Amino acid sequence: MSEKNTLKVGLAQMSPVWLDKQKTIEKIETYVTDAGTQGCDLVVFGEGLLPGYPFWIAFTNGAAWDNPMQKEMYAHYVRNSVEIEKGDLDSICELAKIHKIAIYLGTIERAVNRGGHSVYATLVYINKKGKIKSTHRKLQPTYDERLVWSPGDGNGLRTHSLKPFTVGGLNCWENWMPLSRTALYGMGENLHIAVWPGSERNTIDITRFVALEGRSFVISVSGMMYKKDIPTTTPHFDLLHKNAPDEMANGGSCISGPDGKWVLKPQVGEEGLFVETLDFNRVLEERQNFDPVGHYSRPDVTKLLVNRDRQGLVEDV
C-alpha cells in the first residue's frame, strides 16, 4: 500500500465528562493529540459526545409534563451545549491544524440561527487545516431523544475529500434512513462515518450492511457511559445515581471493509483510541461488480432530491 493511497484513522471510544462542556473538551483534546502523534489522518468521536448523550430521560420519567426536575436537567444541558459561532470548538480546530488531522465530532449544538435555546445532535467535520466544513444536524431524533433534541435539516448532508477518499457522516439511526445514505453515496462517498452513543447492538449489523450497500469503508464510533461516570456536580445527582443502570453505553466501535468483512471488530467495554489503516484500492475493487450510484443505478427511472437549505425562522429579504 502506498501512503498516498491509504488513510490512517483513529476511533476515539471514550466517555465524556458527562454534561460538562469544558472538561469534555479537554478530554477530547487529549485524544486528538494522541491520534495526531500517531500520524492519523482522521479521528472520529461518538454521537453527542460533547457534552454527552441525554441518558437521564430514559430512567427519570423524561416525558413527565411540566416537571421541575426535567426542566432543570434540560437547562443544565443547554448551558453545556456547544455554541460554534462563539468559538467553543476553536481549541479543537487549532489542534486539527497543528497535527494536520481531520476530525468528525458528535456535539450537542445550541443553534444560534434558531434562537439559541433549542439543541441539535450535530456532527461536525473539521478539516486538516482546522476549518469547520460542515455541521450536520440530525434529521430525526430517535424516540425519547425528541424530548430534548430538535429535528435538523439537510444543510450538513455533505461529503469531503480526504486524501484519496470522499468521506461523509450520519448520526446514529440516521444510518437506517435509505435516502440519507443515498444522498451521500450520490456525492461520491466511499468512506462512511456512523456515530453512536454506544452499544454493540447498534453497530454490529448496520456497519457491515452499509459497507456492502455502498461498497465503501464504514467506520462506526461509539461512546462509553457508566453510572460511575455521572459527576457528583450534576443536578439531581442522588436521583440520577439511584435510578441509572450500571452500564448505559459500552462502546462497540468498529470498521467494515467495502466487502462487508471486519477490519476492526466491535470493541466493547474498553475506552481508548483504536487505529487502523485503510487502503483505497479496496473500494475500487468492490465497485467492479456493484456501484449503487454509478453503473448499478438508473437515474432515468429513480432520482433523489436533496434540500440543503439551512432552516431558520427569520430570513432577511
The whole-number pLDDT of residue 103 equals: 98
How far apart CA 122 and CA 127 sit, in angstroms, is 16
> Is 172 noted as a catalytic residue in this protein?
yes
The whole-angstrom distance between residue 54's C-alpha and the CA centroid of its chain comes to 15
> Is 93 noted as a catalytic residue in this protein?
no
Task: Read off φ and ψ for residue 39, nearest 5 degrees.
Answer: 80, 20
> Could you tell me which of 207, 193, 203 has the C-alpha nearest to residue 250?
203
CA dihedral for 103, 104, 105, 111, sign (positive or negative)? positive
The whole-number pLDDT of residue 315 equals: 82
How far apart CA 128 and CA 120 sit, in angstroms, is 25
DSSP string for 39-89: T-SEEEE-TTTBT---THHHHTTTT-TT-HHHHHHHHHHHHTSB-GGGTTT
Q: Which of 138, 145, 163, 213 is catalytic?
A: 138
CATH superfamily of 3-287: Carbon-nitrogen hydrolase (3.60.110.10)
Task: Read off φ and ψ for residue 50, nearest 5 degrees.
Answer: -105, 105
Mapping DSSP to helix (H, G, I), strand (E, B) and coil, where does residue 105 land? Answer: strand
Domain extent listing, the chain: 3-287
300 within 8 A of 234, measured Cβ to Cβ: no
The whole-number pLDDT of residue 111 equals: 94
200, three cell numbers: 454493540
167 within 8 A of 160, measured Cβ to Cβ: yes
Q: Which of 40, 93, 172, 254 is catalytic?
A: 172
The whole-number pLDDT of residue 160 equals: 98
Query: Which residues does the chain have with pLDDT short of 50?
Result: none
The whole-number pLDDT of residue 1 equals: 59
| HEC-encoded secondary structure of 209-241 | HHHHHHCCEEEEEECEEEHHHCCCCCCCHHHHH
> Is 47 noted as a catalytic residue in this protein?
yes
